[in-house]
Chain A
Amino acid sequence: MSGGATAKTYTLPVGPVHVALEEPMYFRLDVEGEIVRGVELGAGHVHRGMEALALRRTLFQNIVLTERVCSLCSNSHPYTYCMAVENLAGMTVPERAQVLRVIAEEIKRISSHLFNVAVLAHIIGFKSLFMHVMEVREIMQDIKETVYGNRMDLAANCIGGVRYDLDEELTGYLLHGLDSVRGQVEGVHKIYSSDRMLLRRSRGVGVLGAADARELGVVGPVARGSGLELDVRHNAPYGGYALLGVEPVVERDGDVHSRAMVRLREIFVSIELIRRCVRELPGGPTTVLLPEIPAGEALARSEAPRGELVYFLRTDGTDVPNRLKWRVPSYMNWEALGRMMRDCRVSDIALIVNSIDPCISCTER
């Protein structure tokens, strides 16, 4: 049913607690028959005041705090935070540490993308595919646990370098795991490109055009799925990415399917990056000593799994920051839902929300 004389206009609340939502967010939808005509967002259900907490902790303690902003991109937060401190102090991070940071970051990206793509299958009721993709992701979880000792928060970064190193045995395990993931993701990619049910549910759904994407300032796979070549690793290469070089993965259709394909294709890019890192891993130290942090302000940004992550740090000569602000990728992508859901079917809401890979813990901090 789509509007017409018999259609009734009513308000449909979705959330903050709802079976289709992984985290709490409130959507007030104006619905006409089965079609969504308007969307209003209500946030704040998991606002924890973490930026206020950061101003009561030392620069060193904030590494631990920022790693707990969110679990899926938990490595990007301390990584970018450490870069902000390093930029402020003018520190030179050893090349080996820079490359090891890339490995940690790309391992997390593969896991995060697999999780999002799996949930897509879960939402459309393709349970066997969901279980299969989660099983592939499990290999990445095992890699994280083996290399870093933890399945989510890697604790890989410190100011001036990294807190881990790779020996021959760990490298062999990592490469073997990646070979296995690559083979399986090739099969997954084929299913997502050709399965008729999956294509019918995801193609032409939740479309965000390039002009809208540009106007709203969306980032990450949401921007790249709408044809924008926006990837910090490419546009403003930082740390180890400046040594390696990354080409952005772009899809043009701007729908749920495009965003999923960007994530799947990026997994191959990440695997190649890690292989290169391992092959070209420079020797030398993995960290430098922490100097006195002067008063001043600095910025740093990175490409987290969901897109551009920005950290702004302001210090006054003490060891406690005067201001630490972070802008997470999801923060930029929420408002695009209003455009994506315009005239969509009620049954596609969960699918569209998942397609921006939203992180509410990140957004609200």
Chain B
Amino acid sequence: MKRNPVLDPGLERELELLALRGGFRSSEDQAGNLFHWFRLGSPGDLPAAARLLAARGARLCTVTAYDPRREHDHPRHEVAYHFDCGGVLVTVTAALDEGEPRVPSIMTEFTNADWNERELAELYGIQVTDRPTPARLFLDESLERGAMDRVIPVSVLMNGASSSTLWERIMGERQDESGSLVVHEEERG
């Protein structure tokens, strides 16, 4: 059986130094694949972590923004950057400032961060600094940023074009037009 790859010890040590305040750990799956998790002390350390990873030939797999509000009972965004480093997955996480969530761009080191940064900006309203204002990726400019922070029922999204919202709107309009029509119908049962 093939031996599972391990993370470059030098890189591991340097990332641990960046994550001294936030903490670090590793895990593995049933097949023995390794996953390393580093929590940065500040989002400002992100470019330094990106430089270390880029220098070791890492590939940016994806970026995940999330809001663990159920854990903290108040909004507080975090962004996790997932890299493939010679077959090992490395996740570098940064907790963002509550008042003004912003994160520095890592496009200088990883060209393919572009779409990821544009997406987290539109879905979570997170500001990405040190790059031109990210253009919308999927959502229209008319939609407010941070769509993932809000619950938008389908009936609202579709402007009441279906479901009970449509029925209520029509009945409401009819009531406005002819006084107590709805009441009469309800009374008739």
Contact = CB atoms under 8 A, between A and B. Distances in A.
A93 interface: yes
B185 to A, nearest CB: 35
A337 to B, nearest CB: 13
B29 A52 contact: no
A49 B147 contact: yes
B68 A245 contact: no
Contacts of B1: 242-243, 245
A216 B2 contact: no
28 contacts: A43-B138, A44-B140, A49-B152, A56-B151, A87-B29, A214-B59, A217-B59, A217-B110, A217-B111, A236-B33, A236-B88, A236-B89, A237-B31, A242-B31, A243-B1, A245-B1, A299-B91, A301-B61, A301-B89, A310-B62, A312-B64, A312-B91, A316-B68, A322-B66, A322-B68, A331-B62, A331-B115, A364-B138
Contacts of B89: 236, 299, 301
Interface residues of A, number: 46
Listed from nearest, the 9 A-B pairs whose CB atoms lie closest are: A327-B62, A242-B31, A323-B66, A44-B138, A217-B112, A325-B64, A47-B138, A236-B87, A235-B87
A323 B64 contact: yes
Contact of B111 (A86, A93, A216): A216
Given A44-B137, A86-B30, A239-B31, A312 B111 contact: no
A314 B79 CA distance: 12
Given A314-B68, A322-B68, A308 B29 contact: no
Interface in B144-161: 147-148, 151-152
A218 to B, nearest CB: 8
Interface of A: 43-44, 47, 49, 51-52, 56, 83, 86-87, 91-93, 214-217, 235-239, 241-243, 245, 297-301, 308, 310, 312, 314, 316, 318, 322-323, 325, 327, 331-332, 334-335, 364
B12 interface: no
Given A44-B139, A312-B62, A322-B70, A92 B111 contact: no
Interface residues of B, number: 42
A84 B138 CA distance: 26
B160 to A, nearest CB: 18
Nearest to B86: A235
Contacts of A214: 59
Nearest to A84: B29
Contacts of A92: 30
Contacts of A316: 68, 70-71
B136 interface: yes
Contact of B61 (A235, A297, A308): A308
A299 B82 contact: yes
Contacts of B189: none
Given A87-B27, A316-B71, A44 B148 contact: no
B62 A242 contact: no
B159 to A, nearest CB: 16
Nearest to B119: A331
Most chain A Cβ neighbours within 10 Å, of B30, B88, B151: B30
Most chain B Cβ neighbours within 10 Å, of A299, A316, A325: A299
A228 to B, nearest CB: 10
A43 B148 CA distance: 18
B30 A93 contact: yes
A364 to B, nearest CB: 5
A355 B62 CA distance: 23
Contacts of A318: 70
B60 interface: yes
Contacts of B10: none
Nearest to A240: B31
B23 interface: no
Contacts of A243: 1
B11 interface: no
A316 B140 CA distance: 32
B5 interface: yes
B112 to A, nearest CB: 4
Interface in B136-189: 136-140, 147-148, 151-152
